[in-house]
Chains A and B, each alone.
Chain A
């Protein structure tokens, strides 16, 4: 049921040697392996978050015919380290009117919510920390902690800008969860399971085996999912919670120093997470383009590279969209969600269900090429 990294590694010889070192205590060994993998993943994702801020500035500079950060390190690459050091050494200011406990809690919730989603992330067929059989469901549930963090951050600051940003953030994140969930539901329907392992394993092979090209409905569902995911991560054109030209900085106006840094880190990692989820659900996940039945360890690293490359490309698209489209108004935001995306998502869901029964679960490519 649960294909985890530990159960994957236990197929190899060196696992037994390791087990001998730990005196045959499997739980302890599993704990150590999970701890090491978790540290690697978090280190990687923190780098991705840092690189995200760098890429954001560099790409926006490219789009606006500027140079962007270029002073710190080669090509300005060490800018993220400089930013991090600056954030740590800034004075930590707490507004006197703030709700102190919630003010401390909000960035922590954002961080916990984002890091917990990484547990079910399908890096490759063997390298998933945990393939829960409710994987997608768990991901949708736990990632709404970030919405809670946005609202609590806005509420606890007791500043009017923060309050407005938090209110907008909460209503936007919960609204867009509906089309996103319904689009995911269509994929669950096709895959016949909620675990990421199940879903990714059915998209083996060339691009026309991916779920995005499974049938016309999933093709639309991908765009619904992606639009909703942009809104859930508060990215432009849906960045109303922190609209810098109206609300100063929105829900994190009163945050300074490291706690602001945690909010920013959580946001950039979350963009990577939703890109990864889009890749796993619609764009073939970590599957190699060719079918290789042999199972050996270096291949897993190739799969990880494939997965990360696809996610990074989507990350680029997210940044590209931010610097291309203007921001929406609140009423436009709500009408797009409830009057367009949600009905389209329901239509896709019904379409997928009927397709499943009518064509016996075959994809469009299978119907055309007949294999």
Chain B
């Protein structure tokens, strides 16, 4: 609200100042005396105000265009309302402007009338004519006076006023130089206010003045020049504030050629009444002429002022239209934006309720609606999170499908069991799952068969092949019936029973081995003793050919019995492993010792060692673990087709995971690898790709590693060959953690 109030306040102030300056400018135009000095400032103020408004409008237009381009909610409604407001406000203003301008121009024109113009010119001419008559009189008087003076009056003629009054007096024969007193008399006689005698160069010789102004009004050089050229001067001049005067300058002829030429100047005041009338006429004519001259400028100024008023009004109206349109459409725009937000899933949207009218009620209702939806959504989310938490905590995989076989959800355990990695399967058809992840084809076939058959409840074991080998899955499916609150679909729960089955097999094999050892080992000793006894008793008594045969046969029996004993012992060891004897052991050193043993026996083979330097000592049964490494290195050497070119890579690493710290030991050979069909049960007894041996080597390895709480895997390497990986937990007591992640 505050920014809006600030904008409205600023614009209001701008409008008021603009209006005020327009009024003042109008007053200044009509009467230059009022605010005339401020005219330029006012004009500038108005132009700046107009520029400010134009800037505001430009910003609004730009915002509106941007909103229209990005199809912002309410933008088109704003444009429509703006168009209506602008049309309703600007059109009448323009019409009013047109008529006002027309009236104004006509009004200004009506001030001027050709008759008045002529009348004033005639009055001025009449004044001039009236004055001309008088001017001719005073010219004649002055010229006569000059002739009198030039005719030559005696030096004492000043006192002979009668002679002076008689122009025809021929007694005076020489040029007369009047004194100051004489000049005063002459001035009074002709009625002049000032009488001067000056040289043509402008030097004052004599003067007579009736007033208090002691400074004689010397005729300007152009007048003196004119008189010198033989032309008398008569002119009407306004002198200071004293009004109009008639200036007469005539040559003063002189018989004395040695003296400089002289000029007689007389100033005659215009009669007071005539002066006032002439001044009035002159003033009125000047004023009217000024008005006529300013007519076009005046119209221009009026037009400019009126145009400024028009533009300011339009600018204010357009801005007000923008403001009003925005205010009116703001709640609707908010509603549109709110609806879009709700549609996009944002249920926390709350709109401001600024008005108490119908729109305000609508906004309140919208807010109530979103609040309720948000509460319901929150409850659903809570329930959903609870179910998800439950599902994520399950060790079984839970797969939910809709009626059409599209996957709706799969819990974390399910993703882990199916080895899905980061693949997004939600929304995918079950059949597409096999296309994305080929190893899931048996699982998908199992599911599809039951879904197509429409089985209500079913259970089936399936097997998939993932990176760590074959996994056995126990799948149980149920059809979800259509309910009021839930839609129809299927749910499939599956468990990885590989370890369980393996455990059962291991147990079975242990039992077999134990029984085998027990049943076979007992008769072996009597057989061996009997064979040795036969050999000892009858060998010396028999003929050489028979003796040789007996010796060979008994020796064979004893050797085979020994072999069987060794095999039975191995079975016995596998069936009944002794308790592990823990001691702190440096695994790197242990592996190096084993490698040294095989390196001396196979000098052509190449052993590449990549040991981690940060391996801490680990509590293990050293002799049992050494047996493990012996078995694995031996297997790796045997797996290489040519032992002389065998390359065995052994590496150790320390591994930190969310479930704890581990040591990993990797033994990689570059042989032919493990046949794929053997990968699944390579660690089972009697599973071997070699022609010799008991087939218990890897089974014993697995058993020892598992007794240390570790995991051993065997897989084909992408670069060729097989890689055995052992992972041992870094804990004080290996038994404390039997099954790492």
- Bound pair (A, B): no
A interface, CB within 8 angstroms of B: none
